[in-house]
Structure 1
C-alpha cells in the first residue's frame, strides 16, 4: 500500500527582511545560524513568494487567505471577524466585529498618544474587557455589544442587531500622535450611515467606562499611560464555510465559501499564535489546536508547538498541519534586530526536532514540509513591506540526506539564495497547488 501523503506548513510570521547596515548589509535570516532550515533548503525546491501579489505590503489575514487558496479580493470581509471569533465570540450573519486595540487617548485634544497602551497587557486586558462587555448604547437599544480579550493589547468587539453593515471605516489613526478617527460610511447607504453613528457612540461609551475604571486610576498614579480608548479596526462580518451564500463587501456578488477539506481534500489543523489567525482558520473549517505555552509573543514555547504539530500530524486524523509562529514578526515591528536573529535560531532548533521525528515515523506516512512566511517585516522599517519571502518545500528524509531528493542549487535558507531556486517567484495563491504537485511527484 502506498504511504499516506501528509503536509506540514510552517509559517514564520514576518520572516523576510532587507539588508541592514549593522549586519554588514545582510538580513537577519542571512546572519542567523539555521543549520536545519539550510538542510531542508538543500534537499528541496526553493523560491520567492509574494503572498498576495507583487508590490503589496499585505496584512497577515489577506496573506493567509491567499496562501490557503481563498482569493482575498473575493472573500475578504475585514479582519475584525477573524479576531473576534478567535477570541471566542460566536458570530452569525448580520453581526459586525472589530480587531481592537487598547490605546491611550488625550480626550481634550482628541489625539491618540499611543495606539498600544501597553504591549504586556495580559494581566489587565481580561478585567477591562469584562467591564466593557455588554455596555448599553443609549441611542441604539436594539443592539448588543460583546467584548472579549484576545492577546497582548488586543480585544475582539462584536455588535449584534438589525440593519448593520461592514461597509464603514474604523477609528484607528494607524500612527501614534494623530487624532482619533470618526467612523464614517464607506458607501452611500442608510445602513452604512446608521452603523457609523452607532460605532461613534460605542467609541464614546467605551471611553467613559475605561476612564473611570480603577485600573486606569492606578496606572495614572504609577506614571503609566491609561488604557482609556478602544481603537475599532478592520470592521468585518463572518464568512461561512458551510456553503451559505454571502454578500461580498466590495461588489455585492453572491458567494459560496468552501472549507479547506472541500477545496483541497485535506483534513487539517491549525496551531495559531493569535486570535486573528485562529479565527481565520475557524472560518476555513480547520481544527484549532490549543497548545500550552504557545502565547504568540516573545515568551512562546516553540518546542511545545513543534511537539503538538508532530503528534497530530503523525496520528490518523489529519493530512495537513499548519504551524504558525509569531515572535519573529513582533521583533520586526519592535525594530529589534537581535531578537529577530535569536528567534530564528530558536525556531531552527524546533525545526530540527520536527524533521528528525517525522523521519522516524513507521513508513505508513510520507511527509512534505513547507517553510515560508506571510509577509516581510523588516526590522529597519518596523512594519510590513512588499518584499517577497523565502519559500522551501522538501521532505524530512531529503533534509537528512539531500542525495535522496531532487533539489535545486540552493544550499541556505534565506532571501537571496531563495531567488536562485527552481520555483522562481510566484504568488501565494499557487502555494497549495505547488504543495500537492510536489507531494505526488517527489
Structure 2
C-alpha cells in the first residue's frame, strides 16, 4: 500500500523582506530536500482560507486534512477540547483561553504578548488550576492546556450572548490597543467579570512570570467531523506539539500520540517527531506531521529564527523521512497552512505554496521550492480541502 504523508510547516510562507535582499525566509533558508522534491513534483499554490473566514491555523489545517471549514468549523476552542478529551454538551461553548501580557484593562491598554513570554506548562498549569479553584463555577470551568494555550468550558453557553461575542485572536493584535476587545467583553458581563477577576488573581499568583491576564476567544460549540477513513480509504495519525492539530486528528478518527519533547517552538524534539511518524507508517498508511516553529517565529518578528526553523524542518523532518521511505511507494505533500509574514507578525490569507511528490510518478518541476516558484507554475487549488484529494488522485 502506498504511504501518504502530509508535512506542514505552520506559517512557513512569507513576503519578501528587504533585510533578506528581497527574498522570503523560505527562499533564504537552506532547503535541499524540499528543492529536490520540488524538481520532481507537482508544485503550485492552494487557497486554504475560504472567503469570509479569518486566516487561522484552525481553519487552514482543517482544510488541509480534507474538511471544508465552511461546513465543519465551529470555533478554535472546541477543536482543542477534543484533544484534551473534554466532554462537552451540544449547547456548551468552549473558549480558547490564552495567558497573555497586557499593559492593563483600561482604555488605551495594549496587547504586549499573546503567549505571556511563551510561558512553560509547568508554570502555566498551577495558574490555571488556581483560577479554576477561585473562579470555577457550574457555568465556567478552566482546563489546563500546553504553555499559554488553555480552555474555558461554558455550560449551555450557546444559549447566551457569549455565542455572539467576537474577540480578536491575541496573536493578531500584538502591540495594538485592545479597546475594541475590552468593549466587546463588557457587552457580556459574565465573561468580563471573569477576565477582571482573573487579572487580579494573576497579579497576585503570577509575579514570577509574564502572565497578567486571560484572553478568552475562538469560542464555539462541540466539534464533529466525518471519519477520515470513510472519506479517503486510509487511516493513520497526526504528529504535533499543539492541541489544535491533535484535536482535529482525533475528531476525524485519527490517532494523535503525545511526542516527548515536542514544544511547538524552534527547539522542539525533531527526532521524536520523525520517530513517531515512522512508527505510524509501519502500521498505517497516512501521517500528518505538523511543525509549529516557523509560525511562532513569524509572530515574534524574528527573521533569523524563522529562516532557521524552515531549514530545520527541511533537515530534521523532511530529510530523515525521505531516507526512511527510500525504496517504498509513497506520496508526500509539503506545504504550510497559511502565511505568517514577518512584516505584520500575524496570519495572511494568501494562497500557500505546496508540492506533491509521487515516488511512482516523478515529474519535472521547479528547481527550488518557494512561494515565488510555486505561484509561477500556474497550478492553483482553489479550495484547501481539495488538496489532499488532489494528491491522492
Query: Given the two structures, how large is their TM-score scaled by the length of structure 1?
Result: 0.79
Say yes or no: does 1:62 pair with 2:29.
no
User: In the alignment, which residue of structure 2 is the partner of 1:384?
Assistant: 347
User: In the alignment, which residue of structure 1 is the partner of 2:224?
Assistant: 240
Q: Is the 8 A contact 2:202 2:213 kept in 1?
A: yes
User: In the alignment, which residue of structure 2 is the partner of 1:434?
Assistant: 390
User: In the alignment, which residue of structure 1 is the partner of 2:240?
Assistant: 272
Deviations 1:207-252 (A, max 9, x none): 3433332x33x55xxxxx5x332111011111224xxxxxxxxxxx
Candidates 88, 91, 96, aligned match of 1:94: 91
User: In the alignment, which residue of structure 2 is the partner of 1:169?
Assistant: 165
- The count of aligned residue pairs is 384
User: In the alignment, which residue of structure 1 is the partner of 2:215?
Assistant: 231
- Pairwise CA RMSD of aligned residues? 2.6
User: In the alignment, which residue of structure 2 is the partner of 1:375?
Assistant: 338
Deviations 1:131-173 (A, max 9, x none): 0125457xxx6x3432223233221111224774562214558
**Matched residue of 1:133: which SS?**
helix
Shift of 1:360: 4.2
Candidates 362, 366, 374, aligned match of 1:418: 374
Rate the CA distance shift 1:125–1:412 in 2: closer, same or farther, 3 A.
same
Aligned mates of 1:112, 1:89 — CA distance in 2: 32
Q: Is the 8 A contact 1:114 1:177 kept in 2?
A: no
User: In the alignment, which residue of structure 1 is the partner of 2:18?
Assistant: 21
Shift of 1:373: 1.0
Shift of 1:297: 1.3
Q: Is the 8 A contact 1:46 1:408 kept in 2?
A: no
Query: Given the two structures, how large is their TM-score scaled by the length of structure 2?
Result: 0.88
Candidates 130, 134, 152, aligned match of 1:157: 152
Say yes or no: does 1:181 pair with 2:179.
no
Shift of 1:16: 0.9
Q: Which is helix-richer, 1 or 2?
A: 2
User: In the alignment, which residue of structure 2 is the partner of 1:440?
Assistant: none
User: In the alignment, which residue of structure 2 is the partner of 1:328?
Assistant: 294
User: In the alignment, which residue of structure 2 is the partner of 1:207?
Assistant: 199
Q: Structure 1 unaligned runs (5+)?
A: 186-192, 220-224, 242-257, 398-403, 438-442
Q: Is the 8 A contact 1:54 1:386 kept in 2?
A: no
Say yes or no: does 1:6 pair with 2:15.
no
Rate the CA distance shift 1:80–1:288 in 2: closer, same or farther, 3 A.
same
User: In the alignment, which residue of structure 1 is the partner of 2:264?
Assistant: 296
